[in-house]
Structure 1
Amino acid sequence: MKATLNNNLEAFLNAKAAYYEQPAFIADDPISIPHQFSRKQDIEIAGFFAAILAWGNRKSIINSCKRLLQLMDNAPYDFVLNFEEPDLEMLLKFVHRTFNAVDLFHFLDVLQYHYKTRRQTSFETAFSDHLISGDDSVEKALIGFHHYFFDAKIFPHLPKRTQKHIATPERKSACKRLNMYLRWMVRSNARGVDFGLWKNIRPHQLICPLDLHVARVARHFNLLHRTNNDWKAATDLTEHLKTLDPTDPCKYDFALFGLGVIERF
């Protein structure tokens, strides 16, 4: 089905977004990982790892996340607060594609620094602290988060190889996985899929997660004209989606993803 008129397209995408944004969507998606938890910090940490490991087959992603959480005794927040060096030995063999124990140890160091050393009650501040009043997108939040995550003054022994696992608009990356994580944490949980835990970042500031499938469908509907799947493409797509819903453009991620991955549109 190809919608050509803008009002037809809006109705079509609204219907698809509503169809996919429901609890039945959760089971086969990486968002099922944070949905295993009820405590805010557990959701944040499990969701962060689920988003960062979200490349490849969805079943493989979910299995890797479950394996990682089992190594943390399915209590990620308690593990982050209390782990010591001997506790990391059990994680030495963890690997998901190119993400390995070297990367994991730095991630855990950052999380422990954030929650325990800085005594932050939410991971949101790792992003929202870098926004200023009037920002219309999360671009500065993502750039600031990358600097925070790889601050050599705080983490003098940080492994350079790990930087490839955290994207940044400064390198023109579409930042698909981080934008997906922010969508999970920020968008309302009224429909039972996203969590709506974070309040300092607003839904209208989110950038649509852009992968090959979403980009293909977006180009089909003339929502995206740029050929590269980079940061500019992600922001261009989001600006088009804001013409359909300026307050919650990323709800259409469900429509574009569902059409591209599930329906193979």
Structure 2
Amino acid sequence: MKKRRGAHTGLSTQAAERLRPRLDAFLASTDARARIGFDPVEFPHRYQDPRDVEVSALLAAALAYGRADLFRPKVDGLLQRMGKSPAAFVRKLDVAGAKALLTGFVYRFNVGTDLAVLLLGMGRALREHGSLEALFVQGWKAAGTLHGALAAFTAALRDVPMEPLRDAMGPERGLHHLLPSPLGPGAAKRLNLYLRWMVRGPDPVDFGIWKQVPPSVLLVPLDTHIGRMALHLGLTRRTDLTWRTAEEVTASLRALDPEDPVRYDFALCHYGMSGACPAKTLPVHCARCSLLSSCKVGPRVVARASLQV
């Protein structure tokens, strides 16, 4: 395949060898357990059964947009009402049950009908395939690409009778935002985050309950925090939050760890989320950053500040 002029195809071997020990040390210094409470992954950590984990995780990931203090109560409220086993709840769910659970539900772009599609789709997947993993793997084998697999996954989840839902609960509003289909050119951050939780691990953050998908095929869940950190570390030159940028960042991370390229995601993302690497780069933050020597931006900020003293 012909390379695009100026395309960033991942770190060079030399650059990877320089960056790897610094990122490994950075990862080791991150208190992942302490950060779980600031992450939507906290919700599936309430459960032990793999089916409950994958169902609660997809619900949490799908709603994990906007401010955490706004979406967390929404996810928590739904899971509380779904009882001890979210998987058992969705297996038995019908339109009447969805209406009872979701009447009046609103979160930013989404209304109850949108969530009903997701929950009914998960219930159908469990009844017909036994697990959400089996549904995903079916699409992955058919499509041959991660993008194609996720597109098939969301399309299958949305394949529920809509007219009875609309009659009972009203029209959908933000279904494409909740379950994008077609997937399009966006980074699909929340879907890739869900895959990371299911496939990687087990470790203090990720579950590793999907055994048929290797971590090597995962794509970094690209958001503003990872995008900023990736630019600073030279993992990409792109500034948009698209699938192509996520591929470039992942290609660079794959040079560090071919078998598990997204293992740095949680630490890097939470470093940005915590305010340690804010959108507006400040000398006080850069000076105490353990990644400063690998950063493309911080040293210049610190140098300018020292000249102004």
TM-score by length of 1: 0.88
Cα-to-partner distance string for 1:206-254 (whole Å, 9 max, x where unaligned): 0000001110110011101112210100111100100000000110102
Q: How many Å separate the matches in 1 of 2:275 and 2:26?
A: 11
Report the counterpart of residue 93 of structure 1 in structure 2: 104
Q: How many Å separate the matches in 1 of 2:100 and 2:207?
A: 32
The Cα of 1:177 is off from its aligned counterpart by 0.1
The Cα of 1:164 is off from its aligned counterpart by 2.4
Q: Which amino acid aligns with 1:50?
A: A
The Cα of 1:156 is off from its aligned counterpart by 5.1
CA distance 1:149–1:82, change in 2 (3 Å): closer
What's the C-alpha RMSD, in Å, of the aligned pairs? 2.3
Pairing partner for 2:92 from 74, 82, 105? 82
In the TM superposition, what are the counterparts of 1:1-265 in structure 2 within 5 Å? 6-20=16-30, 22-87=32-97, 88-116=99-127, 118=128, 120-132=129-141, 135=144, 138-151=146-159, 155=161, 157=163, 159=172, 161-167=174-180, 170-189=183-202, 191-265=203-277
**Number of residue-to-residue matches in the alignment:** 256
The Cα of 1:263 is off from its aligned counterpart by 4.2
Contact 1:20 1:258 in 2 (8 A): no
Contact 1:169 1:231 in 2 (8 A): no
Contact 1:21 1:254 in 2 (8 A): no
Contact 2:61 2:193 in 1 (8 A): yes
SS of corresponding position for 1:250: coil
Contact 1:238 1:249 in 2 (8 A): yes
Q: Which amino acid aligns with 2:198?
A: M
Segments of structure 1 that go 5 or more residues without pairing to the other structure are none
Contact 2:158 2:179 in 1 (8 A): no
TM-score by length of 2: 0.76
Q: Which amino acid aligns with 1:254?
A: F
Q: How many Å separate the matches in 2 of 1:255 and 1:122?
A: 29
Cα-to-partner distance string for 1:33-58 (whole Å, 9 max, x where unaligned): 00001111111110001101111222
Contact 1:13 1:255 in 2 (8 A): no
